């Protein structure tokens, strides 16, 4: 290598060389690769974010695949280098891939993997945690106690917002947005208003059924409403959580004008992507409205915060930890490793990446497939079905368990 990079090596005599740009949680992902004759090299540099030059040194002259991180700039330079080294696979250890130039990957024939299907509940839980922490001023109160300032109970000390019976606003009611809404509605009996381009039918049915349950038990039923515009959510919501994708249409979705139409004591939560909020406008809004509160897991210019944000006591800020539960992070590493392994071995692609439980069960060998390749169609890869084909041997068997369905799916897809 042109540049010296510290690494940890597993299975030195392996036929295929797979590089991980960071040490990752768990060991199953390493075992899955080494069991299939892969030499695994893990970068152990003490840098939080590797430069393009660092990753070029890791790739070297011979590399079959790389597992990378969302903080890295994967574009023309790295994909061309990976291809020259004989590589065909890259996987982000993340569900998002805003750091990846997929067109460049397509140009060099590199499969790009991501890790969906394991982050939904974990991310929703973190958004719910931020909602509660901001509404009840938990971080402020914690700092107050640690500073030794508490000298007795006072009627007005850290008075926050009650959630029960208030209006929950959700912008983006996909998997994570809907999971978050269910937690908040069932946990705090909040009413729902949501905005999404597509109707969230399952979420609506859940709220309706829960409302009927409460009514049957002589409690105030919860309600739901699908908003015609995002502005309706911002005006009506007491707690508003953002769950959109990040693209040109959602950049600075929350700006000075939209902040101005929100309630003065509203709580705004973002565990999606930082640039969805105009952070400079948010800092100014927090300064002018001390009872307005925000909970942020992501930031516009990560890893940095805009000037003034850290000083705002009405802001709860955490360092992009929405997926940071042990089960989820280890699941992400497993999916990322199998994405790379599948391409190296010439396996087909699993066509339902949101149903990948079979890959995560440590009691079973995962099926020979790449769980999630975002550019599979562009690369013309053969797909495998996530369900039992009608003509397969298992087609006439009742599907009593997800595991049974998946195993029959594999049988139908691979053993014909």
Q: Catalytic positions, please?
A: 273, 302, 320
Token pair 């015609």 is found at 228
- Quick one: which H or E segment has residue 123? helix 120-135
CA-nearest of 264, 265, 296, 77 to 162 is 265
Instruction: For residue 239, give the 3-state DSSP assignment.
Output: strand
Q: What's the CA gap between 121 and 179, in Å, rounded?
A: 6
Beta bridge partners of 38: 16
Residues 6+ apart with CB under 8 A from 137: 158, 159, 160, 293
Q: Encode burial over 258-269: b for 16+ CB neighbours within 10 A, e otherwise.
A: bbeebbeebbbb
Q: Between helices 76-84 and 52-59, what is the axis angle to 10°?
A: 10
User: Which DSSP symbol is given to 149?
Assistant: -
Q: What's the CA gap between 113 and 336, in Å, rounded?
A: 7
CA of 62: how far to CAs of 5, 110, 141, 245, 340, in Å? 15, 15, 54, 36, 15
Q: What's the CA gap between 276 and 240, in Å, rounded?
A: 13
Cis bond upstream, residue 16 (ω within 30): no
Strand extents, DSSP E, 275-323: 293-296, 315-317
Q: Encode burial over 33-59: b for 16+ CB neighbours within 10 A, e otherwise.
A: bbebebbbbbbebeeeebeeebbbbbb
Token pair 């948010």 is found at 282
CA of 190: how far to CAs of 89, 105, 220, in Å? 45, 45, 10
Q: What's the CA gap between 75 and 102, in Å, rounded?
A: 8
Q: What's the CA gap between 414 and 367, in Å, rounded?
A: 9
CA-nearest of 364, 387, 383, 365 to 373 is 383
């Amino acid at each position: 290598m042109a540049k010296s990079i510290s690494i940890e090596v597993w299975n030195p005599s392996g036929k295929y060389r797979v590089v991980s740009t960071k040490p990752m949680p768990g060991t199953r992902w390493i075992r899955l690769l080494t069991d299939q004759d892969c030499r695994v090299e893990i970068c152990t540099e003490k840098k939080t974010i590797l430069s393009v030059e660092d990753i070029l040194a890791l790739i070297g002259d011979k590399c079959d695949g790389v597992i990378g991180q969302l903080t890295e700039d994967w574009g023309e330079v790295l994909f061309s280098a990976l291809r020259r080294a004989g590589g065909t696979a890259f996987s982000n250890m993340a569900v998002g891939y805003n750091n990846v130039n997929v067109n460049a990957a397509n140009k060099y024939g590199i499969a790009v993997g991501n890790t969906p299907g394991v982050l939904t509940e974990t991310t929703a839980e973190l958004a719910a945690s931020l909602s509660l922490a901001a509404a009840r001023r938990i971080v402020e109160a914690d700092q107050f106690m640690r500073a030794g300032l508490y000298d007795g109970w006072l009627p007005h000390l850290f008075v926050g917002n009650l959630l029960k019976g208030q209006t929950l606003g959700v912008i983006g009611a996909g998997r994570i947005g809907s999971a978050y809404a269910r937690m908040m509605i069932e946990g705090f009996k909040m009413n729902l208003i949501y905005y999404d381009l597509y109707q969230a039918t399952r979420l609506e049915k859940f709220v309706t059924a829960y409302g009927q349950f409460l009514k049957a038990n002589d409690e105030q039923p919860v309600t739901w409403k699908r908003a015609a515009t995002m502005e309706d959510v911002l005006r009506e919501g007491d707690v508003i959580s953002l769950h959109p994708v990040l693209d040109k249409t959602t950049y600075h979705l929350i700006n000075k004008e939209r902040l101005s139409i929100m309630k003065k004591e509203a709580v705004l939560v973002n565990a999606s992507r930082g640039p969805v909020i105009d952070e400079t406008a948010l800092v100014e809004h927090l300064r002018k409205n001390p009872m307005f509160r925000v909970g942020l897991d992501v930031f516009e210019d990560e890893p940095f915060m805009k000037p003034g944000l850290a000083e705002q006591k009405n802001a709860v800020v955490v360092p992009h930890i929405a997926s940071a539960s042990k089960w989820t992070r280890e699941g992400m590493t497993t999916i990322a490793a199998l994405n790379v392994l599948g391409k190296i071995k010439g396996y087909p692609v699993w066509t339902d990446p949101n149903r990948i439980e079979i890959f995560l069960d440590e009691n079973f060998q995962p099926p020979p497939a790449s769980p999630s390749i975002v550019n599979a169609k562009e690369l013309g890869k053969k797909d495998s079905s996530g369900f039992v084909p009608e003509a397969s041997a298992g087609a006439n068997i009742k599907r009593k368990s997800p595991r049974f369905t998946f195993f029959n799916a594999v049988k139908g897809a691979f053993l014909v």
